[in-house]
Structure 1
Amino acid sequence: MNKTAGASCLLEGIGLHKEFPRPEGPLVVLDDTHFQLREKEAVAVVGASGSGKSTFLNILGALDTPTAGELRYRGRPLDTRDQKVVDQWRLDRVGFVFQTHMLLPDFTAYENLLLPVRVRGTVPQEQRERARRFLAAIGLEDRATHLPGQLSGGEQQRIALARAFMNRPEIVLADEPFGNLDREIGGRLGGMLFRLRDEEDVSL
């Protein structure tokens, strides 16, 4: 059964345009780009290197602002100029997985998992238990107290994957999360990403 059948639009980009100034004239990366992501839907953005995929995902996640166009969440415009509103929206609704793991080097695997929760303030016991369950789910329960430098590249990225789901987001944006890994490890982590996505019922 198709999970997205009849699902409402969760995130929408309308007429997105992005350009960067240059002495010889603006570099246009996105031009009148439209996008829709429905609840519990998985969408892949495909393109050659340098075609603007990362810029596009950064705009969808409100990490960057478009030169023109509009971002809508559940049908309502998201004011990307209001940093406080945008920061809270990202914290509550969006998880990110980047090509590099972005783990803090002085925090253990367990502590890195809890970072999105700590931003809110006190970490509830339920979230501590959730982090432990994630460590078990990704096969790193015995690495909980290890620092990132003590983990392999694949293990680091597993922590980054699980961290994206810690705050129970509605959307997870993944920007070539396995690009720095070999094909075999990347394939296994891809399966792990989709398993987490199915278990957590998020859009990807």
Structure 2
Amino acid sequence: MTADEGACEGADKSVGEGRDAGSSLPLRVAVIIGSTREGRIGDAVGRWFVERARDRSELDLAVLDLADYDFPVHYPGRATEQMTEFTEEIARAEAFVVVTPEYNRSFPASLKQAIDFAYEEWQTKPVAFVSYGHGSAGLYAVEQLRTVFTELHTVTLRNGVALDFLRQPLEGHPGDTGRDRSVGLMLDQLGWWGWALREARAVRPYVS
């Protein structure tokens, strides 16, 4: 065995051992569907994404569709049962995928309302985005969400999935794997950050 071969074998072994140690239990990922608008396509986008993500046995997926929650119109003095249920799901999750449309170059009010129900529950966890729209593919909404989630002490992923329905319908066409590659890369990065931050939280408390 050459020195180079030994170095490569050692590097591969260390990477494998690190991943095994950090991912002995599946990463709990909450997929948040942010649109509640009647006639929305957000639920279909969420299903499309989850179908692809479920191939990852190392991920434990939970779908939080905001349309399924009966949140109050006015912020109450005490959290309602539905608010508490949602916040507990955020606390349980170790990583997030936010599915968002773009409304007037921003994200839905329903999503901002839900985000604000929690605070510490978001901290030190990675957030990825699946955005959709016509032309901009929802990227204006994502950029604004990055600012919000930075304030909540999360790590937002560089790579995401952006769906432009002006150019291509949701299901695409046979042989098109570009979107699937985007999903795969995003999930690889989400897993890396999710396990790394899980280990970090176990070692020392976060200072906010």
Normalised TM-score (structure 2): 0.30
Higher helix share: 2
Structure whose alpha-carbon radius of gyration is higher: 2
